[in-house]
Amino acid sequence: MSHTSPSLLVLLLAALASADSSSDQIYKTVDKDGKVIFSDQPAPKAEPVNVGRTNSMQPPAATGTPADTAPTGATAVVYESVEITSPADGGTVTNPSGNILVLFTLAPALREGDSTRLLIDGMPGGMPAEGGLLAPTTSRGEHRLEVQVLDAAGTVLATSAPVYVTVFRNPVRDKPGRPPRSN
């Protein structure tokens, strides 16, 4: 049976540490044409280069897949499409006297417990209507409309592509049957 002395162990660890650090050493040489060469192997007339600490990052932690995050016992419904069909993208709504009806298609059909909501310029607004959602009368100018599908907890499951519409209102003096104002 053989015993290893503590001094031999220290010497062996020191040799390993120096071998490891020498493998990280970079050397710089210049050839006869003035070309600079970097290598990890020492060469005649090579100068050691202090590289310093290199950057490193840990990979991000793995996250669960959508199948892992689905509620237990519930079938995850993926809404393949939510699309606003009216008003048309880039369209103009002239003189809306009340709410603007926003029509949309949804595939597959709305699941029981899920709901839809209208976003007007990124803010929730509107109310349910037969076949769509009613947007309250909005101010003049361009507005962005989107339809979202939400689950019972209020989590957004799908959002339509935005549709941009311009609301145009005639000034009061331009209403038919009213005489123009005098300046």
Tokens of 43: 């060469």
Residue 115 φ/ψ region, left for φ over 0, alpha for ψ in the -120 to 50 degree band, beta for the rest: beta
Tokens of 176: 């038919």
pLDDT band at residue 93 using 50, 70 and 90 as cut-offs: confident
> pTM of the prediction?
0.52
pLDDT band at residue 129 using 50, 70 and 90 as cut-offs: confident
**Least confident residue range of 19-28, 114-123, 147-156:** 19-28
Distance CA(81)–CA(109), nearest Å, equals 10
pLDDT at 182 over 80: no
Q: What is the pLDDT of residue 159?
A: 92
Give the list of residues 6+ apart from residue 9 with CB closer than 8 angstroms, or none.
Answer: none
pLDDT at 24 over 60: yes
Q: What is the pLDDT of residue 163?
A: 93
| pLDDT tens per residue, range 99-125 | 788 899 989 988 888 989 999 898 888
Q: What is the pLDDT of residue 160?
A: 93
Which amino acid, residue 9? L
Q: Which domains does the chain have, with CATH numbers?
A: 25-50 (no CATH), 81-172 (2.60.40.10)
| pLDDT tens per residue, range 49-86 | 887 776 666 777 665 544 444 444 455 568 988 999 99
What is the three-class DSSP state of 18?
helix
